[in-house]
Chain A
Amino acid sequence: MSLNTYRAGPDEHGHFGIYGGRFVAETLMPLILDLEKAYTAAKDDPAFKTEMSYYLNQYVGRPSKLYFAERLTNELGGAKIYLKREELNHTGAHKINNCIGQILLAKRMGKTRIIAETGAGQHGVATATVCALFGLPCTIYMGEVDIARQQPNVFRMKLLGAEVKPVTSGSRTLKDAMNEALRDWVTNVGDTFYIIGTTAGPHPYPALVRDFQSIIGHEVRAQMTAMEGRLPDTLVACIGGGSNALGLFHPFLDDADVAMVAVEAAGHGIETGEHAASLTGGRPGVLHGNRTYLLQDGDGQILEGHSISAGLDYPGIGPEHSWLHDVGRVKYVSATDQEALAAFQRLSKVEGIIPALESAHALAEVIRSAPTLPKDHLMVVNLSGRGDKDIFTVARELGVSL
């Protein structure tokens, strides 16, 4: 399939090819239409852009550095590896970029209460942070299983003044947190704004989150051009819902010479069935407001994902990724828990940077592919989050008691 542009989507109904759409209860439909209207207006409003830039620069600390990982490059002996340091953002991950955008939209729309779902807790922390910044009450839904494995982030959210509601239904992870957030939203339609953390959900969320995260790719474009005098050859990012990957990729989609690789979580291995790789191991279905690749059984029942990384532990993926997968613009691969753990330790020791377990999946792919590439091959990996939140999980996996 050949297209003039890969960057035109979604269409007016929120579709990327057959993916996306607005599969929500009637109660939410008027709210989603309102949000679309508000976002369309804000996008073209210079005042909104100015406000966004102010907070991204002064509060988040953007632009984030594009760092040449010299020691890792030398060790691997191939491609020249650059790290996009999203983990240096305030709150320690890329999630805050989107939260700044959505809270400013919420304010514009006159909403007075914020809800969000979270898996690893990074989006929950980022949401709680912007709610503290703007003085809005906030409720974060988080699966009981994730609460147990991400204690530092739970405490962080509480310190920031958020109410963290444990979700005990279903598999008690990210998908159930999203169900519960939707149940809250459908009940509190008048005053509540739902800050979705990834490029998924009903239209316009996938496009809106992508746009707010695209600052990552725009910066890389300028930074790489300044440092190397040309565009990168390969972009690598991990993918759960897919917001850090799309944020990095989207500005480059029409640059035919830029290859893109997204890394799904293979958990214990795709062949074991215990993984969270929707594209590799799933098929198209409808969940949480959009059509996309889902882990499901033959009867359309949603299966539980598995990954060592709570942030990737979701049985779906953003609809634009499903489309990019089908048209072949982005290559989707996977990395297991063990590969991610190895990459986690390697970056810590070689570069002095402890990556999030999510980002370690992307690094696992870099470790696999960089040695096979020439030394002038420019490879950018999105270091989407820092690993402090994961030290308990990693210690347990390594048999260390803290």
Chain B
Amino acid sequence: MSTTTSRIDRRFAALKVEGRAGLVAFITAGDPDHGTCLELLTGLPAAGADLIELGMPFTDPMADGPAIQASTLRALAAGARMTRTLDLVRAFREGDADTPIILMGYYNPVYAYGVDRFLADAKAAGVDGLIVVDLPPEEDGELCLPAQAAGVNFIRLATPTTDKARLPAVLANTSGFIYYVSIAGITGAGSATSDAIAAAVAHLRTGTDLPVAVGFGITTPEGAADVARVADAAVVGSAIVRRLEASLDAEGKAQPGLVADVLGFVGELAAGVRGARK
């Protein structure tokens, strides 16, 4: 584990001082096109996102529901590729030195890019962490350990199927925070009850001092607030992406007002999170 504090560590420390949970907002890199995505990305912190997850598009998103599947295919159709994803992060960093960016996606595009080259370029662009859905602890040698060595946090997912016996393996090489997937299922599907989430977060805290973010199935400011009462951050992805989708024309192109509408929704989610513990 890295001994220097990362941008993610500093952000969670600051949230703790403020006495509130954070909002992690997800968008897909290059959705619906590069320019609109950059506008969205640069607008997210002011709208209230405390951390940003930027999806790396992939043709076969096995763990994602229809909303993010469509989003990733839109991005690819609009010319998204790994170098362009890193361009987005670089451009974002020119105006924001503090908001953590986590790249989220599947392993093959990273593997095709080359792990060492990817880590060097991602770090240089200003990426703080990685979430790679199809790399469980059993495959830590692939990317997790090289990422830690390169000073990039590797954030692991814990799920309802992660039992007591397995938890230490999941926590072992994780850094930055733990992402609790609150339902067994794909993104944007059902949602867990507040009680179930509270119990799961308490279970995770028995094994780690890392912050716990909770995602999957959070669609409203109220839902985000429920999570923010028990966890260190609430992650919202599909609901934001669906909002974006609603502002596309019949050809899937961005219509005027898209960026303002999506950022407005992120603002509502942020208000939910910020008001949760008052």
Question: What 1/0 flags go to B141-163 for Cβ under 8 Å of A?
Answer: 00000000000000011111111
* Contact present for B134 and A301 (CB under 8 Å): no
- A172-B113 Cα distance, complex, nearest whole Å: 26
B223 at the interface (CB under 8 A from A): no
A21 at the interface (CB under 8 A from B): yes
- The answer to whether residues A26 and B112 also contact, given A175-B60, A187-B185 and a CB cut-off of 8 A, is no
Specify the main secondary structure of chain B where it touches its partner.
Answer: loop
* Contact present for A25 and B112 (CB under 8 Å): no
Interface size range on A against B: 35 or more
A299 at the interface (CB under 8 A from B): yes
Residues of chain B with a CB closer than 8 A to A288's CB: 60, 62
* Contact present for B58 and A301 (CB under 8 Å): yes
Question: What 1/0 flags go to B45-78 for Cβ under 8 Å of A?
Answer: 0000000000001111111011001000100100
* Contact present for A29 and B60 (CB under 8 Å): no
* Contact present for A189 and B161 (CB under 8 Å): yes
* Contact present for B157 and A302 (CB under 8 Å): no
**Minimum Cβ distance to chain B for residue A356 (Å):** 26
Residues of chain A with a CB closer than 8 A to B66's CB: 169
Residues of chain B with a CB closer than 8 A to A198's CB: none
Residues of chain B with a CB closer than 8 A to A399's CB: none
- The answer to whether residues A299 and B136 also contact, given A186-B185, A288-B62 and a CB cut-off of 8 A, is no
Interface size (B, Cβ < 8 Å)?
A: 44
- A179-B186 Cα distance, complex, nearest whole Å: 11
**Minimum Cβ distance to chain A for residue B110 (Å):** 7
Residues of chain B with a CB closer than 8 A to A301's CB: 57-59, 76, 109
* Contact present for A23 and B107 (CB under 8 Å): yes
Selected from A13, A26, A170, A289, the residue in CB contact (under 8 A) with B59 is A170
Residues of chain A with a CB closer than 8 A to B210's CB: none
Question: What 1/0 flags go to B102-114 for Cβ under 8 Å of A?
Answer: 0000111111110
Residues of chain B with a CB closer than 8 A to A24's CB: 134, 136
B205 at the interface (CB under 8 A from A): no
* Contact present for A22 and B136 (CB under 8 Å): yes
B133 at the interface (CB under 8 A from A): yes
Residues of chain B with a CB closer than 8 A to A29's CB: 136-138, 161, 166
- A29-B136 Cα distance, complex, nearest whole Å: 7
Q: Which residue of B lies closest to A203 (CB)?
A: B138
Q: List 11 A-B contacts (CB under 8 A).
A: A22-B139, A23-B139, A30-B162, A30-B163, A169-B66, A175-B60, A176-B60, A286-B111, A294-B108, A299-B112, A300-B58
Interface residue ranges, A against B (CB under 8 Å): 13, 21-31, 169-170, 175-176, 179, 182-183, 186-189, 285-289, 294, 296, 298-302
With contacts A22-B139, A23-B136 known, what are 7 further pairs, Cβ within 8 A? A22-B136, A23-B134, A27-B181, A27-B184, A28-B161, A29-B138, A189-B160
